[in-house]
């Protein structure tokens, strides 16, 4: 997972699957940036799948960002990932660019 820091904006580039086996790694990668006033962008261009465990990480991250009055954006969602967010009703919870 690549991370790009540009001032107070952090962009995270998860790759492959964010499933039960990888959700912990995803959460640990995001954690340092949810405790400060960082604007966080998660670029899903190279992500092929997200499970309920990955969705849980996104919800926790969104809640922490809101508490810190920081922005969280999801970027480059592939059709399958966008469909998962739509079906689960999560789409309105995020800023998708």
- Give pLDDT tens digits for 21-51: 999 999 999 988 887 778 999 999 999 999 9
CATH topology of domain 2-96: Transcription Regulator spoIIAA (3.30.750)
Q: In the prediction, which pLDDT does 21 show?
A: 96
- The residues with which 96 forms a beta bridge, in sequence order, are 74
Give backbone dihedrals phi and psi of 29, rounded to 5 degrees, phi first.
-70, -35
Report residue 12's pLDDT band, with 50, 70 and 90 as the boundaries. very high
Q: In the prediction, which pLDDT does 7 show?
A: 87
Where in the chain are the domains? 2-96
Label residues 83-97 b or e (16+ Cβ within 10 Å = b).
ebbeeeeeeebbeee
Residue 1 in this model has a pLDDT that exceeds 90: no
Contact in structure between 26 and 33 (CB atoms under 8 Å):
no
pTM: 0.92
Residue 19 in this model has a pLDDT that exceeds 90: yes
- DSSP structural state of residue 89: T
Question: What pLDDT, in 10s, does the model give residues 54-96?
Answer: 999 999 999 998 888 888 999 999 999 999 999 999 999 999 9
């Amino acid at each position: 997972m690549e991370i790009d820091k540009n001032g107070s904006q952090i962009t995270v580039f998860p790759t492959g699957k964010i499933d039960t086996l990888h959700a912990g790694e995803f959460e640990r990668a995001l954690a340092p940036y949810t405790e400060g006033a960082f604007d966080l962008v998660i670029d899903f261009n190279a992500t092929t799948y997200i499970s309920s465990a990955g969705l849980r990480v996104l919800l926790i991250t969104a809640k922490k960002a809101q508490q810190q009055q920081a922005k969280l954006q999801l970027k480059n969602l592939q059709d399958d990932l966008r469909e998962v967010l739509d079906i689960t009703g999560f789409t309105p919870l995020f800023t998708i660019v």
